[in-house]
A and B are shown apart, each in its own frame.
Chain A
């Protein structure tokens, strides 16, 4: 086990390197957690729109209540349409002008259609909305934390108190920031009687939504039929830049940590040139020296990587809690990410250490012992 403490012969330098690697890995993990969060948001969104066509007024469905509910009947009469459900989406905090990330949303939805529209979102506690419910709501995980809501507690939406009847399980998607209420209540409190902000169309079995959507647009004038592929493309494009920035910063952090390691191993080799010469005079092969020096890098990168990942995990845990209490979420840490970053730090560390290790292994022992 001697190889474990040998890199710490010069304790100060080893510790500085270890912290250098740890900071790099910490930053890489944080950036990775942020990129994972965005990816998961996109995936959840794609899952929620899979096989569905969103019909909206051309000005956008977040503006709310500008499609007449009666048009649902027209859509239902079209060939290939299985079902059509109207919904009313309004911001929970309409006075907030600037929102970082996704806004909190109130979703008015016919209770009997919930299982049809959101079969992938399980209820964590309580129950979902039922037909006949009035001023009841089901709350997403972030909203629950933001308002510290208990089951059967009250949430004020548009100056009206709603009783919480259930909580959605955290999924890492937009639903964490949603409050579901019965559509008729939403229309009533937001003064949108007979209006919806969008219509979700479910094609009949075997009907391709990408083919059905243009047909709907042709026959129902003034509406935009957005297909899952088009929505998915829009979402991917909007998060692409974010992912590029986070991943780029993560890679930069790993490179900086790696340079710190390279610096230390190079100095260690320079400092130990005579000792390396002596070892070769005692019969150490090039391979023995290569392994000894590279294992220094491996130990430092493994230890630094572990420290960086552990500190990033602790930070993410507490920071996520802090954010969730304020109704936000920013990081998603997965085992895959943790192991991926750790393996990357170890492999990169060993790879970087191989450069000075290779040079050390080819030192001429006679010259090295003469101090040349």
Chain B
């Protein structure tokens, strides 16, 4: 069985006549350490599929397996634990808590994992150094550029040593140069740390760099 696998995933929203199917009968396998790009137009179901793969929402039918365990059957408590320890998200925007410094944002999952404060700070410093923000630990999100905010989100994934990183349009709101920097950072995380990365993007640079590209159209793999 692959590291990450989904079988016949379908996600419907609404009820009766107003039902919208965001993802329809999608089956997909992702190997450990792979860099996969999910591409497709807006509304093709990329974000919903990422949420389903990361147990952020539950499918209407179908199943998701991570390391052979069916995470779609996990209880809310187990899903929270999974999100704290193994799965990380990088969103297009709203990645950070505005009232927390970037160091506090980076180590927030560790706080939920009850990691001791000093250990958290040490870890946070190290990963922020790694993404090039070692000198801005006390800055607040409002003081950062869009690219820097995405770096913090990546650093957060590194801080908790997650082995699956799901990035939803991480370059969507960035200029070309910054978008390339963030893509390169994700590639580096994948290469250096062996983190499995699934990126939802229609950015040609990301699509071009991915080891494998899967295109979604109207909720289905085309």
Contacts and interface: CB of A to CB of B under 8 A. Distances in A.
Interface of A: 2, 6, 9, 274-275, 278-286, 288, 364-366, 369
B108 A279 contact: yes
Given A283-B109, A285-B112, A288-B112, A278 B94 contact: yes
A274 B94 contact: yes
Contact of B91 (A279, A284, A286, A369): A369
B94 A364 contact: no
A278 B104 CA distance: 14
Given A285-B80, A365-B57, 20 more contacts: A2-B104, A9-B99, A278-B95, A279-B108, A279-B112, A280-B83, A281-B54, A281-B56, A282-B84, A282-B89, A282-B108, A282-B112, A283-B81, A283-B82, A283-B83, A285-B76, A286-B80, A366-B51, A369-B91, A369-B94
Given A275-B97, A283-B85, A366 B109 contact: no
A282 B94 contact: no
Contact of B109 (A6, A274, A282, A364): A282
A366 B56 contact: yes
Interface in B19-59: 51, 54, 56-57
13 contacts: A274-B94, A275-B94, A278-B91, A278-B95, A279-B112, A281-B91, A282-B84, A282-B156, A285-B76, A285-B77, A285-B112, A288-B80, A364-B57
A2 B57 CA distance: 30
B61 interface: no
A13 to B, nearest CB: 14
A248 B50 CA distance: 56
Given A274-B94, A369-B94, A286 B56 contact: no
B87 to A, nearest CB: 8
Contact of A282 (B57, B83, B99): B83
A246 to B, nearest CB: 42
B95 to A, nearest CB: 7
A228 B45 CA distance: 84
A283 B76 CA distance: 10
Interface string B78-115: 00111111000101001111110000100011001100
Contacts of A6: 99
A31 to B, nearest CB: 37
B97 A279 contact: yes
A263 B89 CA distance: 33
B57 A366 contact: yes
